[in-house]
A and B are shown apart, each in its own frame.
Chain A
Amino acid sequence: MSEYVIETEKGKWEIICGLEIHCQIISKSKIFSGASTEFGDDVNENVSFVDAGMPGMLPTLNQECVHQAIKTGLGLNAVINKYSEFSRKNYFYADLPQGYQITQFQYPIVGEGFIDIDLDGGITKRIRIERMHIEQDAGKSIHDIDPHKSFIDLNRAGVGLMEIVTKPDFRAPEEAGAFLRKLRSILRYLGTCDGNMDEGSMRCDVNVSVRPLGSDEYRTRCEMKNVNSVKFVMQAIEIEARRHIEVYENGGEICQETRQFDPVALTTKVMRKKEFAHDYRYFPEPDLPPLILGDELINKIKTELVELPDAKKSRFVKELGLTPYDAMVICENKEVADFFEKAATGRDAKKVANWLMGDFFAMLKKKNLEISHSPVSAENLGKLVDLITKDVISGKIAKDVFEIMAETSEDPEKIVEEKGLKQVTDTSAIEAIIDAVIASNPDNVASYKAGKVNLLGWFVGQVIKQSQGKANPALVNKLLKEKL
């Protein structure tokens, strides 16, 4: 990707950006209590006395949340810390009944790692991960029911979160977008977070600063909290960077503060100044001893790890002959990749990829279906490609067969058989049609013989039309040339 530079009348500027991503851990129960994590249940039904911050209640750590965090750390190519600790982060807010959040501060469960992101033009860039820790989520505040009151639902309070912090490695909004898509893909492959930003199960805080192009200083950054879509993250980075540049070019200073991105007005506005609200007075959580992990557990999780998108992608390129772009598109979603592999095994994988990314994706989009509900199974898509490769049907007829498959979910071999769509490769049958076409078009035959050789295409078309599309085009071509 070419360098991303913001140019004004006064100079050239570079963006420095880092992300913090909160990912809800997939588990049945909460990280420190036995209440359900189910989304959308009745208000305050999935709340235990621990989640409600009742005095004397003690947290007990959910082992599934620990395993999910280890799995995610391995997926981020990161160090798993065998020693980690929980801390209390103190702040007052109505949806945090304890008055503190149990989180990890000095000793997180996951250390440094990286993700390689795919950019335009087949370029990859490595984004470094600073750390990942686990913590509890807060409840949900609803402000729009009453003008003077806020309503609190604690169902989400205590659900496990993984907070992933990147190094300030992003130099363009597109890089942050590519990172979030890649991270989401990895988390879904691992089954540790569903990655739905619009439902809030993946939430992104964006840190932005700028510097004159070519300088290596780090200037004051501002943080935008809870930007909730990939598109908004990209917009927020650019808009906040332009605000910084304008302030600097008018001789002003940026102060460190938390801001809110407004996707309608396309501006950011200040939420709170850093100095007061951010005095979290962390201290070690007295109710939980340190978390010690053994090599045995880490190695067990390592061996059970699924093949991740990057590994799958390079295998599809190397072993199945896909282009890197096709492999990237197919591997972004695990279900798509699994479907493809099932359909492509034992046949021309490139052809299967073309069908998958062409007619098949178009059909799903038109019917507004997820691949798991596709009327065309992987086996049947594979069989359709076989019918084409073995010259049983032409590519054109295959499109008609595919449409029938999309409606009836039937086996393409059966459709071809029942509808009599087999390609005619019988020379005498084709010759008969050719003779008829020649006999009824003496004028064009004469013109062709007089030198208008490009009329051959017209003859081929006529013959295929008369055969209702079933005549093999190559054979028609050859026979016509002979007859004319």
Chain B
Amino acid sequence: MAVDNDTVRRIAFLARLKVEPEKLEDTKSEFNKILEWVEELGEVNTDNVEPLVSVNNEALSLRADEVSEGHISQEILKNAPAQEFGYFVVPKVVE
């Protein structure tokens, strides 16, 4: 599977990354190198092999329904570029 310039633009848009037009070719070939490398896996015979969901074969541990966290709004908001009245403030995002 080879990636073209349109696919690079589209993935950049979905990830909200700005890829300058002159960087497009470079990015495309980097993507393709990674894909080629991963495609080597296709050479391995995986008939009768169960899909591997996780490398650590642990059971999912469940938590009791108790309130044990919260009331740290000052810390939560510490990295916010802007805040007001305890809210995060962002540029208007109405669709």
Residues on A lying within 8 angstroms of B by beta carbon are 27-29, 33-36, 42-50, 52, 60-66, 85, 90, 92-94, 141-143, 146-154, 271-272, 276, 279, 281, 284, 286, 288-292
Contact = CB atoms under 8 A, between A and B. Distances in A.
Nearest to A67: B65
A29 B67 contact: yes
A149 B87 CA distance: 11
B77 interface: yes
Interface string B47-87: 00000011000111111111111111100110000101111
A142 B93 CA distance: 10
Given A47-B73, A146-B89, A152-B89, 20 more contacts: A33-B69, A34-B68, A34-B70, A35-B69, A44-B73, A44-B86, A47-B72, A47-B76, A60-B62, A63-B63, A65-B65, A93-B93, A146-B92, A149-B90, A149-B92, A152-B87, A152-B88, A153-B86, A290-B53, A291-B60
B13 interface: yes
A150 to B, nearest CB: 5
Given A44-B77, A52-B76, A289-B58, A151 B85 contact: yes
A94 to B, nearest CB: 5
B92 A150 contact: yes
A70 to B, nearest CB: 12
Given A29-B67, A48-B69, A286-B54, A62 B88 contact: no
B69 A34 contact: yes
Given A289-B59, A290-B60, A44 B87 contact: yes
Contacts of A141: 93
A289 B53 contact: yes
Contact of B62 (A33, A46, A62, A276): A62
A324 B64 CA distance: 42
B66 A43 contact: no
B88 A154 contact: yes
Contacts of B23: none
Given A62-B63, A289-B54, A35 B84 contact: no
Given A44-B73, A47-B72, A34 B93 contact: no
Given A85-B53, A143-B94, A150-B93, A45 B60 contact: no
A300 to B, nearest CB: 15
B92 to A, nearest CB: 5
Given A148-B91, A152-B87, A154-B88, A34 B76 contact: no
Given A66-B62, A85-B53, A288-B60, A150 B69 contact: no
Contacts of A65: 65
Given A52-B76, A279-B14, A34 B67 contact: yes
Contacts of B20: none
Contact of A149 (B71, B76, B91, B95): B91
B18 interface: no
B60, B64, B66, B95, most chain A CB atoms within 10 A: B60
A28, A29, A65, A66, most chain B CB atoms within 10 A: A29
Contacts of B70: 34-36, 45-48
A45 B71 contact: yes
A154 B76 contact: yes
A296 B49 CA distance: 30
B92 A148 contact: yes
B73 A42 contact: yes
Contacts of A29: 65-68
Contacts of B62: 60-63, 66
Contacts of A146: 89, 92
Contacts of A92: 16
A27 B62 CA distance: 14
16 contacts: A29-B65, A33-B69, A34-B66, A34-B69, A34-B70, A44-B76, A44-B87, A49-B72, A49-B76, A61-B60, A62-B62, A64-B65, A149-B91, A150-B90, A153-B87, A281-B14
A65 B71 CA distance: 22
Nearest to B84: A151
Interface string B21-40: 00000000000000000000
Nearest to B74: A44
B63 to A, nearest CB: 4
Contacts of B64: 63-64
A66 B59 CA distance: 15
B14, B65, B67, B94, most chain A CB atoms within 10 A: B65
A45 B67 CA distance: 12
A319 to B, nearest CB: 37
A71 B9 CA distance: 45
A142 B94 CA distance: 9
Nearest to A284: B53
Contacts of A66: 62
Nearest to A143: B94
Contacts of A271: 95
A153 B95 CA distance: 18
B61 A60 contact: yes
Contacts of A289: 53-54, 58-60
